Amino acid sequence: MLQGSYMNLQVTSSFMLPVASLSLFEVATLLLLIPLMDRVIFPILARLGVEFTPLRRIGVGMLFACSSVALAGFIEIERKHILKTDGPISQTVFNKTINASPMSVFWQVPQYILQGTDEVLVSITGKLIHSDFCYLLNTSAGC
């Protein structure tokens, strides 16, 4: 979010995008990918003989997380380069006027999509493993 506040937030001449609203792309990715992965991707992989175990899901999810961080670094390098070559624009963010890069904040959208994909593979799988562990623990305790 901090990186986005130093990027061009102007969408139209009369509308400036609130930088915190970019997290909606992560939420949208979650809402789309959870049923898609559960009902389409994982069954297709199972039919093809690919065993996508929880540990593999978490591993692939971590690769998406690393990709998101790497992409943020590349975008920051490009943001600073554009700031030097094209000069700053003045915009007000959090009631403070700052010199921002003319690079559009929408360049951050892929980061949020990668984070949403990571969340689907890592967090949801981790919660399933946790609930299975709690079930086994309760069963073994005789509850």
Assigned token pair, 134:
């709690």
Quote the pLDDT of residue 117. 94
Quote the pLDDT of residue 18. 86
Q: Whole-angstrom Cα distance, residue 100 to residue 83?
A: 7
Instruction: Profile the chain (143 residues) by mean pLDDT over runs of 10 residues.
Output: 85 84 91 92 93 88 94 95 94 86 94 93 67 49 51
Instruction: Name the phi and psi angles at 17, rounded to 5.
Output: -70, 130
Q: Whole-angstrom Cα distance, residue 24 to residue 27?
A: 5
Distances (CA, A) of 84 to 41, 74, 132: 44, 16, 53
Mapped to the 3 state alphabet, what secondary structure does the chain carry? CHHHHCCECECCCCCECCHHHHHHHHHHHHHHHHHHHHHHHHHHHHHCCCCCCHHHHHHHHHHHHHHHHHHHHHHHHHHHHHHHHHCCEEEEECCEEEEECCCEHHHHHHHHHHHHHHHHHHHHHHHHHHHHHHHHHHHHCCC
